[in-house]
Structure 1
Amino acid sequence: MPVKCQKPKRKLKKLATAQGIFEIIDNIDRPAEVYADGMYADTDTYAHAFNNEPGKRIPKAGAIAEAGVGRAGAAWSIFSVAARGPNASAEAEANGLEAGAMLQAELASVAAAAGPVEAKLGLGIDTGVTIGPTKVELKFLGTGVTLGSTIGVSLFGSEAKIKFF
């Protein structure tokens, strides 16, 4: 079945993010999406809870603003890949277990995720914090650590993570 290029219904900034069991349940039936943009600038707010749709089953709310030059990616089910040129973003999100905010500026990055495992190679200065009863994530100028239900390490915008739940 061919996959056509389309403007996604939901912002795809977080396509390549580690997914624990809750996010796998939330996205297992996600349809194939492909996107490619030259220059872009987007803002979005969202609030979802218990809707029987991919990405909307687990309660969460947040806001994001992003801008950049060049991005492309694809997602299907629990798999995703993304590539980005120079970009900057600000995001805040709260879900059932945690809340956080992150500022990001990147020169470039490529990322891939398969369920709970994520890898990203890039040059960026992510700065922010996410705190919850099961996870703490701290980043400053692209370097940081994630401990708890997610284990990860970041160095100048490149990172590796595994999320257990």
Structure 2
Amino acid sequence: MKPGLMMALSALMATSPAFAYEIGDSISPEVAEKLNLQPGKAAVVDFFASWCASCAKEIPEIHQFIEDDKSEKVQVLGVGVDEDLAEGKAWQKQLNITFPVYDDTDQQVVESFAPIGMPALYYIIDNKVVGKRIGAVNHIDKQIRADLKELGVEQ
């Protein structure tokens, strides 16, 4: 291989994520720590951004799921992908987000998952991705409940 081509390919690989988490993949310890995943709980991880109208529509339904869930077996957390922290925080405050949020201003967590759209919802059990939903879903609270039941998480 020509040296110039090898250098170009190396540069491309260095700037692209090595992979995107898919169902069955284990989460790296670094990402698990950033998300503050709680052992023994199924995690529902919601990626959102201030520019995403569908994300804003789903937040109240996610709050409804949290309010209805009395099992204490589920951890709901958000990942704000706004690069402008002040803008992201203002949007979160406007929507009265009450669940824990990791503000991913450096984009490291979102690049690890590399969702193809927003909103993006991932289910993680025992540090493994076990399910995901990409894009807007009507009545996401009911869908989360159904998905968790299908994954064997009793509510």
Shorter chain as denominator, the TM-score bin is under 0.3
What's the TM-score once normalised by structure 2's chain length?
Answer: 0.25
**Higher strand proportion, which one?**
1
**Higher helix proportion, which one?**
2
What's the TM-score once normalised by structure 1's chain length?
Answer: 0.24
